[in-house]
Amino acid sequence: MASIAIEVTRLALRCVSAFSPETAGRLAFRLFSVTPSRKPSNAKEKAALTAAEPVMAGAHRVTLSYAGGWVVAKRFRAPSDGAAKRVLLVHGWGSRSDYLAAMIKGLLAGGAEVIALDWPGHGASPGRTLTMPAAVRAIDAAWRHFDGFDVAVGHSFGGASLACAAGGLVCDVPSRIAGSMVLIGAPSEMTWLFKGFGKLLRLSHKAQAALEGMVVQLSGRRIEDFDAARILGVLTVPVLVIHAEDDKEVSADHARRYAAAGANVELHWANGLGHRRIVSAPPVIERINAFIHAEERRAAA
């Protein structure tokens, strides 16, 4: 049964749509883009933030600007003085870099330098909205400031954003392709999100078209073009996709789409870890480190 807020929103959009479906679609897109509260919603999240403090204290904070706003990146230096691989690490929708503290600690222990990005409207970054074009622009800002990345690792929305940035899907932003990529619990395309949101709000056909049309206005691309699996299949860089078949937020079918996209995509199942615990699980972090440093270990052998 829908909540009172959803019912009220449906009624309001239905009334607006009767006069202007285009306006209803634009209003729906604004709702779609609003980010959740940054405050921890329960004791578990509060405990996670407290546990992350020792790791996050080691970061150097960097402000990155892009067309339309600015974001905060946190730079963690590699523990050794050698030629460490530089990793761009991005979180999912409604999360923040602090929740990836275990991942950051594990990547540092593996010998990498880590740049953890807080999306617009998340963590230490300002704003109350986030769109895929804005995420791509934030990635581009990080790319320009740090002169590229050897590895890009993203969870959920973050993984899809890395793929879209690699595909150059925002017309005035160049493709940003890391030497290798890791996508964790990531959606493989964006159409299902928009269709699902429109269905939730019971938008009319014209209002739905206006909702999806906002993507074209912001990026110069149709929503169908934001197909992360298709993009990765075209790339030649190694890609590791990690997913749990019990993920209740992003169906495992998305991981299967990635795996079928090309020979450069490797699928690793992390069953039993769901959508959120997966980023902190030691076996997952160990698998990512093995993937990142596989070439070095082969050369050493």
Predicted confidence (pLDDT) per residue in 205-247, tens digit: 999 999 999 999 999 999 999 999 999 999 989 999 999 999 9
What pLDDT does 109 receive? 94
What pLDDT does 78 receive? 85
Architecture of domain 42-189+226-300: 3-Layer(aba) Sandwich (3.40)
Residues 231/178, Cβ–Cβ less than 8 Å: no
- Listed in order, the ranges of the chain carrying CATH 3.40.50.1820 are 42-189+226-300
The residue among 25, 77, 19 whose CA lies nearest residue 212 is 25
Task: Decide if pLDDT at 120 tops 70.
Answer: yes
What pLDDT does 82 receive? 62
Residues 228/160, Cβ–Cβ less than 8 Å: yes
Residues 273/284, Cβ–Cβ less than 8 Å: yes
What pLDDT does 298 receive? 64
Beta-sheet pairing, 113-118 with 69-76: antiparallel
Please state the pTM of the whole predicted model.
Answer: 0.94
* 79, 153, 229 from 190: Cα distances, Å: 38, 19, 11
Beta bridge partners of 114: 76, 87
**Which residue has tokens 């070439």?**
295
Task: Decide if pLDDT at 166 tops 60.
Answer: yes
The whole-number average pLDDT for the span 161-186 is 96
Q: Where are the alpha helices (DSSP H) in 168-272?
A: 191-201, 205-219, 228-234, 252-259
- The Cα–Cα gap between 5 and 11 comes to 10
Q: Is the Cα torsion angle 268, 270, 276, 277 positive or negative in sign? A: negative
